[in-house]
Amino acid sequence: MSFLVIGECVADIVRAPEGSGAADRVHPGGSPANVAYGLARLGRDVMLLTQLADDADGRLIADHLKGAGVRVEVGGVPVRTPSAAVGLDAHGRAAYTFDIAWTLERGAPPAEAPTHVHIGSIAAVTAPGAATVLAEVERLRDRATVSYDPNVRPALMGDHAEAVARVERCVALSDVVKASDEDLAWLYPGAEPHEVAARWRALGPAVVLITRGAAGSTVFTGRETITAEAPPVTVVDTVGAGDSFMSAVLDVLAGRGRETLAGLGAEYLARLLCRATAAAAVTVSRAGAQPPDRAELDAAGERFTVRSARVR
């Protein structure tokens, strides 16, 4: 099973809380890069198609990814590596200010034949590079399953109606979609998660997952709706938590063909949520986007036991 992740790398500059006396911290980031890193940490064969500049931040990110075993394919060299200033509130929740452009120029090497493609965030909806991302998905989806995480960044989304249309085009190309409650609140103000899940499933994906931070997560298919509560954990920061959740979801679903996803049973989906929730719990318990490796995730499955899973 091989994974191709397409999307941005970002240097996350985590600002220390005002008056704390602590220094700012720079962490390798970018939602797609974090997903690729999380998959590699779980022992998966993964290539990241991205942009990186030959600067200090670019080298930091490349070394970080390659250290976990990610194969990095640079499809464009920007003037500087994108960055995001990350401010944390008193609860460790992150807010971002971006310095980023996305101009991906080419796809993956023709010899690359992944069995799963993951896209998301800035790279999937930001011109001109988004056109390259979607062309790659369309080229590969006949022989690969596809996942998508909108990971909405309102400051970069532009006109709301146009942004929703771009997101829904990505949803329509996907088999598995994961989004946060914050994503949904921006995309579809006032809509309930089950309403959005039904809307998205009608576009094509068999599996839709909605995360709600400490309130847990829900998975929707045509047959099942499963909700799992999150375990109690001391939060250092929430950077990369959703990406760790996504990596664990893809790890559990690895090898599942498109035709099998819609028929996943309730027990399997509950285990999927428990595994992904444990991965996110590990990540929020330490600074930066630091997902667990397989041994840590196995241990976390016992340590961070999900309190309950409800089937509706």
pLDDT tens string for the chain (312 positions)? 599 999 999 998 877 666 666 677 788 999 999 999 999 999 999 999 999 999 989 999 999 999 999 999 998 888 889 988 877 666 666 677 888 889 998 988 887 889 999 999 999 999 999 999 999 999 999 999 999 999 999 888 999 999 999 999 999 999 999 999 999 999 999 999 999 999 999 999 999 999 998 888 999 999 899 998 887 787 777 777 899 999 999 999 998 999 999 899 998 999 999 999 999 988 877 877 788 889 988 887 766 555 545 555
Ranges of beta strands (E only) in the chain are 2-6, 10-15, 25-29, 45-50, 71-74, 83-88, 94-99, 116-120, 145-149, 176-180, 207-211, 217-220, 225-228, 309-311
**For 42, which DSSP code?**
T
Q: So what's the pLDDT on residue 309?
A: 55
Q: So what's the pLDDT on residue 114?
A: 94
Q: So what's the pLDDT on residue 86?
A: 74
Q: So what's the pLDDT on residue 173?
A: 97
Write out the two tokens for 10: 């970002």
Q: So what's the pLDDT on residue 229?
A: 85
Q: Please state whether beta strands 10-15 and 25-29 pair in parallel, antiparallel, or not at all (unpaired).
A: antiparallel
HSE, CB side, 13 Å, CA atoms: give it for residue 286. Answer: 10
* Bridge partners of residue 217, in order along the sequence: 211, 228
Q: So what's the pLDDT on residue 22?
A: 67
Q: Give the integer Cα–Cα distance in Å for 46 and 36.
A: 6
Q: So what's the pLDDT on residue 245?
A: 95
Residue 117 sits at φ, ψ, to 5 deg, of: -120, 130
